[in-house]
Amino acid sequence: MSLRLDPREHAPLFLRLLVSLVAGLAALLLVAIPVMAAGANPFEAYLLMAQGAFGSMFALSETLNRATPLILTGLAAAVAFRARLWNIGAEGQLYMGALAAVMVGSGFLQLPAPLAIPAIMLAGFLAGGLMMVIPAMLKQRFGADEVVITLLLNFVVILFIQMLIEGPLKDPLAMGWPQSVPLVAEARFDKLIPRLRMHWGLIVGLVAALILWLMVKRTVLGFEIKAVGENKAAARFAGIPVDATMLKVALISGGLAGLAGVSEVAGVKGYLSADLSPGFGYSGIVVAMLAGLSPIGSVLAAIFIAAVFVGADSMSRATGISNYLADLVVALSLLCVLVGGFFLRFRLRWQSRQEA
C-alpha cells in the first residue's frame, strides 16, 4: 500500500467550512497537552473558557467587543491577500486611523453627532488607507517589498504616536498619563446595550463585511481584483489597469484597518494611547487566514479568536493556568488551517502498489 496525492479540481463549500472547523478543534486538542501538563483538566478548562466567552450576556458582550477590531483588521488582511498584496501593516494603519479620529474629533471641528461620526470614520479610513497606498506605490515604482515596508512602518507609526501623546496631543487633564486629548461626546460610538461595552463599531464591522462580500461577488472592482491577484500578466493583457486596481485594494485594506482604530477610540477608550491595540493588526492576519480570505468567514473567525482570548482570561482566573494559552490556541489554529489548506488542494488516496 502506498499513499498518493491527487490534486482536487474543486473544493466544495462544505469541505472548506469543515476544514476550518476541524482545524479549530485540532488546535484545542493539541493545547490540551500543555493544559494537562499544567495540572488542570482540559475539559474543565475549555468549559470555563466557553463560559467565560459566551456564558452570560456580559461575557458575550466582552467577546463581541473584542471581536470588533478583529473583524475590521481581518477584512483588511483578507481583501489585500486576495489581491496578493501582502499588507502586514494593519497595526500601524490602525493607529493612524485612531490618530486621525482624535485629530478630527477632539473638538477641532464642532459638528453634531450625525456629522461628527462620519467625519472621524472618513478621516480614519483615509489615514489608514494612505499608510497602505504609499507602500503599494513604492512597490509599483521601485519594486520595494511591501511585506518589509508595511511591517517596519508599524514601529515607525507607534513611535510617532508615542511622540505625539507625550507632546503636542497630550491630554493636560490626564494626570500625566501618556494619552491624547479625548474625543468629544458627539464623536463617540454609542453602546449597543446600556451598561455593556459592546458598541456601534460592531455594526460598522458587520456592514463592512457585507459590503466587501458584495464587492467580491458582484462588482467589477471585485472581478478586477480577483484577476489581478490570480494572474497579473493575464489581467494586464486583458486591459485591466493592474496598478490602479492594486492602489484601490491598498486604500480599502489600509482604510479598514484605520476604521478598526477609529472604532477602538470612539467605541472603547475615548482617547488615543500607545496601548490602544494589543496586536489587533497582526491578529487580523490570523483571522483572514482562518477565514480562507472570505469576508463573511472573517466575522466568524474574529469572533472565534476573540472568544479564545476573552475565555482564556476568565479560565486563567479560575484555574491559575496562564492566559498565554490563548496565544497558543490561536497560533495552533493557524497552523492547523494551513495544514488543512493542503487537504483542500489535494485528495489523499491509499493505493495498492502492483509489482511489475
Q: Near other proteins by CB under 8 A, which window of 98-106, 189-197, 223-231, 324-332?
A: 223-231
Judged by CB under 8 A, the number of residues near other proteins is 25
CA distances from 195 to 7, 63, 150, 255, 260 (A): 53, 15, 38, 30, 22
Determine if 346 is a binding residue for other proteins (CB under 8 A).
Answer: no
From the list 134, 240, 268, 344, which residue makes contact with other proteins (rule: CB under 8 A)? 240
Determine if 211 is a binding residue for other proteins (CB under 8 A).
Answer: no
Between 112 and 239, name the residue whose CB sits nearer to other proteins: 239
Whether the CB-CB separation of 11 and 352 falls below 8 Å is answered with no
Between 41 and 231, name the residue whose CB sits nearer to other proteins: 231
**Separation between Cα atoms, residue 126 and residue 262, nearest integer Å:** 11
Contacts of 100 (CB under 8 A, 6+ apart): 120, 123, 124, 126, 127, 128, 258, 262
From the list 84, 170, 197, 226, which residue makes contact with other proteins (rule: CB under 8 A)? 226
Determine if 244 is a binding residue for other proteins (CB under 8 A).
Answer: no
Determine if 236 is a binding residue for other proteins (CB under 8 A).
Answer: yes
Q: Near other proteins by CB under 8 A, which window of 33-41, 239-247, 308-316, 323-331?
A: 239-247
CA-closest candidate to residue 196, choices 307, 67, 59: 59
Determine if 241 is a binding residue for other proteins (CB under 8 A).
Answer: yes
Place of cell 450576556: 57
Whether the CB-CB separation of 11 and 345 falls below 8 Å is answered with yes
From the list 28, 227, 301, 308, which residue makes contact with other proteins (rule: CB under 8 A)? 227
Question: Contact letters (x/-) for other proteins, 2-21, by CB under 8 A?
Answer: ----x--xx-----------
**Separation between Cα atoms, residue 149 and residue 139, nearest integer Å:** 9
Residue type, 153: L
Provide the minimum distance between the beta carbon of 231 and other proteins in the complex, in angstroms, as a whole number. Answer: 4
Determine if 210 is a binding residue for other proteins (CB under 8 A).
Answer: no
Whether the CB-CB separation of 48 and 315 falls below 8 Å is answered with yes
Compute how many other C-beta atoms are within 10 angstroms of the C-beta atom of residue 2: 8
Cα end-to-end distance, the chain, whole Å? 15
Binding site for other proteins (CB under 8 A): 6, 9-10, 218-224, 226-227, 230-231, 233-241, 354, 356
